Structure 1
Amino acid sequence: MLSTRWLPGPHVPGDTPLVVSETAFQLNRAIDLPRACWAGWQLSKLWPELEGAVALRLWVNPVRRRIGSVSVWREGTDLDRFVRLRAHVDIVRAYRGKGTLTTRTWESIGVPSG
């Protein structure tokens, strides 16, 4: 598996719990993997300016045709705003039916490192 380093967002966390979102997308066909990776990478370029964004890590497992991310947010409304972001919606629509998406979200104290 390959992953980026943690990319910082514009929000500096305080002592309150943060919202963590983990997303994994299992592609049906290997031929779709390069474009899906590129789409995720392009979307990550918005990260430094997203309200409430704390940290982001992207990953890919080429052998298993899986890509995903772990994102950390100030609060759930910031994550919800991102999910509705036009660029994100466009990617979701483009890859609908091309694989299986799994997500999970939880609260955490502290920011990931490493």
Structure 2
Amino acid sequence: MLVSVTRFDGARRDLPGIYRTGLSLAARWPELPGAVGVWLWSLPLAGSSGSVSVWGSARALRGFIGLPEHVRVMDRYRTRGTVRAITWTVEWGDRNALWSRARHWLAQTPTQA
């Protein structure tokens, strides 16, 4: 499985719009080819939000990234903060490794990543 972890750090005023779009995209998850799971997170007081998603393939992730709604939210907010993302592969069912690596990466400051 392919794991994708994203983090946006920016102005707190932007988080509601970003999070609403994230919820809208997450609601479509069952119909997205190759989508396995998604978890959204937000730290409103810190101005941070993001996702941890699992995909059946890199092609499936690219299909999601190209969705018009995803492109719009990225175009709108990309310059209003710092966006970081990482991907890696994990064996199916190895949840502990997935969450351990995701938490470690998300805890790093941008200069450590």
Coarse TM-score class (shorter-chain normalised): 0.7 to 0.9
Structure 1, gaps ≥5 residues long: 1-17
Task: Provide Cα deviations, 1:57-113, integer angstroms capped at 9, x if missing partner.
Answer: 100011211000000000111001111111111111111211110000000012438
Q: Give the counterpart letter for 1:19 in structure 2.
A: L
C-alpha distance in 2, partners of 1:34/1:90?
A: 15
Higher strand proportion (structure 1 or 2): 1
Alignment length (residue pairs): 96
Higher helix proportion (structure 1 or 2): 2
Structure 2, gaps ≥5 residues long: 100-113
2:46 pairs with 1:64: yes
Task: Provide Cα deviations, 1:20-53, integer angstroms capped at 9, x if missing partner.
Answer: 00000111x2111211111111111111100000
Residues 15-30 of structure 1 aligned to structure 2 (within 5 Å): 18-27=1-10, 29-30=11-12
CA RMSD of aligned residues (A): 1.6
The TM-score, its normalising length taken from structure 2, stands at 0.79
Within the candidate set 20, 27, 43, 1:38 is matched to 20
The TM-score, its normalising length taken from structure 1, stands at 0.78
